[in-house]
């Protein structure tokens, strides 16, 4: 997609897309729009028409889509985010490091025994799932079923107008998956109320009992969001990062000789192949942007993947992977402003541990066949990463 993004940045940076939404591709405008408090994230603020119909059709009427923090504006957003933020703290995240290291090393042992594997399946997929279910304290979560449900839901993140996303079969799958997942979450929360433990779910249910104004429905929605938002994104950060390194042997060698670069390398992976390529906002009033004026009630798709490659910020070699790039942190892969990713510290930690230890462990790590991408526009990642170690 990156050639197309570049063409848009150069010729039509605030594009009125033929499908009826606006597509913003430069770093300056993307950053302005996502952090602008005058923008809404609630789909009912869209002007009635095909875009609104498509979004409403695809989005089943479940707690996640009604009241999770990512679809609410202030004051609800402020209240929900601060309640969850109170338990999902930097300290709680840092405390996960030994557990993450143990999981990564156990995976690496299995890979060493196998010799050659699909790194997506054997390494990138299981880690974020186990981390978030452990951190939440989800008892006996059925990993296979949860993964299938998550897979079905990721399609709802694709942009409007993509045929596959509006395939009737897919739509039913999305609705069923959401209903089943919210049912599962309700059961888990009910169980947790009777069996409190030292975990995030217990802390959240107790926050609610302490009269902090979190309804049952809101609680279910935030738990679903934590579970969903941190899964495919982190899987793809790890997978895309490993692919980028294996395709750029000079950068892999640089990381091997300077393991302390891993923190900056993860920022560069986020910039270079953002796990989420887009997010969006809705205008509530006429909105001047670049040399255009966007009308109220419009869907503004902000292209993170394009902003991250903008030569105006990252210079003429923006399309190159450089793990020691000084401005790598200027990427907008976690978005900015009030909705800025709540799990960014956890995602960064998992990627640092996973990629850092993988590279250190296998000096002869190499691609053993073609990478198979998932074909998605927004949730960018690989389905299959064949490697030999
Ligand atoms: C929001 C990306 C990992 C939880 C977001 C948004 C982005 C994003 C772009 C903002 C949406 C917007 O402004 O419109 C990523 C990436 C990750 C990642 C690239 C890769 C590692 C995680 C993890 C968790 C998480 C591990 C938690 C377990 C959330 C939550 C929100 C969010 C709760 C909603 C925040 C709000 O609306 O206030 N994420 N995320 N994310 N993310 Fe992440």
How does pLDDT run along the chain (389 residues), one tens digit per residue? Answer: 999 999 999 999 999 998 889 999 999 999 999 999 999 999 899 999 888 887 777 665 678 888 899 999 999 999 999 989 988 889 999 999 999 999 999 999 999 999 999 999 999 988 998 898 888 887 666 777 887 787 777 776 776 655 444 444 555 577 788 888 888 888 888 888 888 888 888 888 887 656 667 888 888 889 889 888 888 899 999 999 999 999 999 999 999 999 999 999 999 999 999 999 999 999 999 999 999 999 999 999 999 999 999 999 999 999 999 999 999 999 999 999 999 999 999 999 999 999 999 999 999 999 999 999 988 888 899 999 999 99
Q: Which atom of ligand 1 is nearest to the CA of 338?
A: 38
What is the Å distance from ligand 1's center to 336 Cα? 10
Q: Is the peptide bond before 75 cis (omega within 30 degrees of 0)?
A: yes
Q: Which atom of ligand 1 is nearest to the CA of 135?
A: 28
Q: Which residue, judged by its Cα, is nearest atom 9 of ligand 1?
A: 334
Predicted local confidence at residue 165, as pLDDT: 44
Consecutive H or E run containing 3? helix 2-11
Q: Is the CB of 236 under 6 A from ligand 1?
A: no
Q: Is the CB of 276 under 6 A from ligand 1?
A: yes
Predicted ipTM > 0.90: yes
What is the Å distance from ligand 1's center to 230 Cα? 7
Residue positions counted in the chain: 389
Query: How does DSSP classify residue 382?
Result: E
Beta bridge partners of 384: 372
Q: Is the CB of 239 under 6 A from ligand 1?
A: no
What is the Å distance from ligand 1's center to 264 Cα? 19
Predicted local confidence at residue 375, as pLDDT: 85
Cα 139 to Cα 126: distance, rounded to the nearest angstrom: 17
Consecutive H or E run containing 320? none
Q: Which atom of ligand 1 is nearest to the CA of 69?
A: 37
Pocket test for ligand 1, best of 157, 329, 341 (most atoms within 8 A of CB): 341
Cα 60 to Cα 213: distance, rounded to the nearest angstrom: 25
Spell out the domains of the chain, with CATH numbers in brackets. 2-388 (1.10.630.10)
24, 161, 311, 380 from 329: Cα distances, Å: 20, 32, 15, 19
Q: How many angstroms separate the first and last alpha carbons of the chain?
A: 30
Beta bridge partners of 300: 22, 281
Predicted local confidence at residue 168, as pLDDT: 46
* Cβ atoms of residues 244 and 273 within 8 Å: yes
Q: Is the CB of 343 under 6 A from ligand 1?
A: yes
Q: Which residue, judged by its Cα, is nearest atom 38 of ligand 1?
A: 339
Q: Is the CB of 124 under 6 A from ligand 1?
A: no
Q: 2: exposed, middle or buried (C-beta count within 10 Å: 0-12, 13-18, 19+)? A: middle
Q: Is the CB of 233 under 6 A from ligand 1?
A: yes
Q: Which residue, judged by its Cα, is nearest atom 36 of ligand 1?
A: 339
Predicted local confidence at residue 171, as pLDDT: 56
What is the Å distance from ligand 1's center to 291 Cα? 30
* Cβ atoms of residues 22 and 15 within 8 Å: yes
């Amino acid at each position: 997609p990156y050639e197309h993004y570049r063409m848009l940045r150069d010729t039509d940076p605030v594009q009125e897309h033929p499908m009826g939404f606006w597509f913003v591709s430069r770093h300056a405008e993307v950053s302005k729009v996502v952090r602008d408090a005058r923008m809404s994230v609630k789909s009912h603020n869209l002007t009635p028409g095909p875009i609104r119909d498509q979004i409403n059709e695809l989005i089943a009427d479940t707690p996640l889509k009604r009241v999770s923090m990512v679809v609410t504006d202030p004051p609800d957003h402020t209240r929900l985010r601060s309640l969850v933020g109170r338990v999902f703290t930097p300290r709680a995240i840092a405390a996960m490091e030994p557990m993450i290291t143990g999981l990564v090393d156990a995976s690496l042992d299995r890979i060493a025994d196998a010799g050659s594997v699909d790194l997506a399946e054997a390494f990138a997929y299981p880690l974020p799932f186990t981390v978030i279910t452990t951190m939440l304290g989800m008892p006996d979560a059925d990993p296979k079923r949860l993964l299938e449900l998550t897979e079905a839901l990721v399609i709802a993140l694709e942009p409007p107008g993509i045929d596959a996303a509006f395939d009737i079969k897919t739509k039913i799958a999305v609705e069923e998956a959401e209903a089943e997942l919210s049912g599962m979450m309700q059961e888990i929360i009910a169980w947790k109320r009777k069996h409190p433990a030292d975990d995030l779910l217990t802390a959240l249910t107790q926050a609610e009992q302490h009269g902090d104004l979190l309804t049952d429905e809101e609680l279910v929605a935030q738990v679903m969001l934590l579970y969903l938002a941190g899964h495919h994104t982190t899987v793809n950060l790890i997978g895309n990062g490993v692919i980028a390194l294996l395709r750029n042997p000079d950068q892999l060698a640089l990381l091997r000789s300077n393991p302390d670069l891993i923190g900056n390398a993860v920022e560069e992976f986020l910039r270079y192949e953002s796990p989420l390529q887009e997010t969006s906002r809705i205008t509530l009033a006429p909105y001047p942007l670049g040399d255009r004026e966007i009308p109220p009630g419009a869907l503004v798709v902000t292209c993170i993947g394009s902003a991250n490659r903008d030569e105006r910020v990252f210079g003429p070699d923006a399309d190159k992977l450089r793990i020691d790039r000084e401005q790598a942190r200027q990427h907008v892969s976690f978005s900015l402003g009030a909705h800025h990713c709540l799990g960014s510290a956890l995602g960064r930690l998992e990627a640092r541990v996973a990629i850092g230890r993988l590279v250190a462990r296998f000096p002869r790590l190499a691609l053993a066949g073609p990478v198979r991408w998932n074909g998605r526009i927004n949730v960018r990642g690989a389905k299959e990463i064949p490697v030999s170690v």
